[in-house]
Amino acid sequence: MISIYRFVSTFLYPILILLIFFRKLINKEDKARYKEKIFPSSFSIIKKKNYDLIWFHAASIGEVQSIFPIIKKLNSNKKNFQFLITTVTLSSGKLVQAEFKDYENIIHRYFPLDVNFLSKKFLALWRPKIVFFVDSEIWPNLILNIADEKIPLAIINGRITSKTFKRWSLIPKTAKKIFNEFTFSLSSNSETKEYLNKLGGKNIFYFGNIKFSNSLDFEKIKNKNKNILENKNFWCAASTHKQEENFCISAHLKLKKVTNNLLTVIIPRHIHRSKHIEKICIKNGLNYQVLNKEDNILENTEIVIINSFGVLQDYFKYAKSVFVGKSVIKNMEQDSGQSPILAAKLGCKIYHGPYVYNFKEVYDILKKHNISKEISNIDELSDHLIEDFKFGKKDFSESKRMIDNLGSKILDETTKKINYFLINEIK
């Protein structure tokens, strides 16, 4: 099976190059650095002499943000560590560069395609002492090449859905060969721990979801539209997917009948969906605004469609209520849910649909503390929002303290295990 994967990935390499070029043309790739993904000649390296290179790979924004506290804590140990962070998406790359712009020993590169000769070349140039994959990043060519080089490998905040587990279970020998190469695995939930064990993993631990440990400086979060947000009956529909924008705009139309001064801010999971949301607004005769970071919200705007990355916290800070998407679409049941942790940390009451598979344990914790609530239809969402509008933004110090304490505990346990790994595996 591995040989077939290697053949197919090599065969598809020219097509993947064309795909990257096309994505560059539509502004979905870094125009200056997209070649890092596809050409060995662009694998530029910056290695510090006498430093041990530690490689973290995290695909997109959520995964990248989850490892920031870990890297900062490891870096504070004042050991001779140099960190390489690879990502896939344009937005996550920009986020890493912004977060660590003042750190000389922390470098960002785009993750090369999982083609055998590319991963071999990348490893040969960077020669990491240790590699950490984050979340659900499983790349067979790279994993096996790491094993061939006898480089220790671990997965952090690992997540395997039931759908993914069923697929791996169809090829048990291949699954065991892949998952047995991880020196240890830290799972993000108890179900993943069970799946990893069944797939042939070893040294599997579960401390909790590391995303709880993301630190926030509340005072540093700014929004140029603060005044209008504070003076509106304002709520967020965040990380929405196809079908959910219709759901949220229908809720807005219901609220509009009974609520004055209403403002709905929609932050789609993929910003290219803004055109689709515009069409829904036009169809319903709503005053809408596609908002970039530098724009001001106009007084008569009813629907704001966010057209930029990395702004969730800028709106959650002022929102009383947040609907978190990827949660009401039944055909996504086995891959459902988006992280509600950021909204919880910023004191929002969180609403979600019944399909939150990927974050079930997180939602269970939030529900226990009356931070989140499941809704099943537009009427339920609207009714809860009307009640929320009657009061100002709640004092969230207690819930923040609970989440921060939980996050601190998870971070401590995680970094303790990683440090043990570093001490015992780096040669």
The pLDDT tens digits along the chain (427 residues) read 888 999 899 999 999 999 999 999 988 899 999 999 999 999 988 888 889 999 999 988 888 989 999 999 999 877 889 999 999 998 899 989 999 999 999 999 999 999 999 999 999 999 999 999 999 889 999 999 999 999 999 999 999 988 899 999 999 999 999 999 999 999 999 999 999 999 999 999 999 999 888 777 777 788 888 899 988 999 999 999 988 999 999 999 999 999 989 999 999 988 888 899 999 999 999 999 999 878 899 999 999 999 887 788 899 999 999 999 999 988 776 678 888 999 998 889 999 999 998 888 899 999 998 899 999 999 999 999 999 988 776 666 777 788 888 999 999 999 999 998 888 877 6
Strand partners, 204: 185
Specify whether the CB–CB gap between 168 and 341 falls below 8 A: no
The Cα–Cα gap between 174 and 193 comes to 19
> What structural domains does the chain harbor?
2-158 (3.40.50.11720), 218-402 (3.40.50.2000)
The Cα–Cα gap between 203 and 382 comes to 46
The Cα–Cα gap between 193 and 263 comes to 42
Sign of CA dihedral 68, 70, 73, 77: negative
What secondary structure letter does DSSP report for 394?
Answer: P
The Cα–Cα gap between 144 and 260 comes to 60
Q: Which backbone phi and psi does 173 adopt, to 5 degrees?
A: -65, -45
The Cα–Cα gap between 71 and 82 comes to 10
Three-state helix/strand/coil letters over 365-386: HHHHCCCEEECCCHHHHHHHHH
pTM of the full structure: 0.84
Whole-angstrom distance between the N-terminal and C-terminal Cα of the chain? 32
Dihedral, CA atoms, 346, 97, 213, 127, nearest 10 degrees? 170
| Residue of 184, 190, 194, 183 lying closest to 206 (CA atoms) | 190
Sign of CA dihedral 353, 358, 364, 367: negative
Strand partners, 55: 84, 131
| Residue of 57, 108, 90, 98 lying closest to 271 (CA atoms) | 90
Residue with tokens 């724009």, as numbered in its chain: 295
- Classified as helix, coil or strand, 252 is helix
The Cα–Cα gap between 131 and 54 comes to 6
The Cα–Cα gap between 228 and 245 comes to 23
| Residue of 372, 120, 145 lying closest to 238 (CA atoms) | 372
Q: Which amino acid is at 388?
A: D
Angle at 351 between CA 297 and CA 222, to 5 degrees: 35
What secondary structure letter does DSSP report for 320?
Answer: S
CB contact set of 296 (below 8 Å; sequence gap of 6+): 224, 225
Beta strands in 382-423 (DSSP E): none
Structural Rg of the chain based on CA atoms: 22
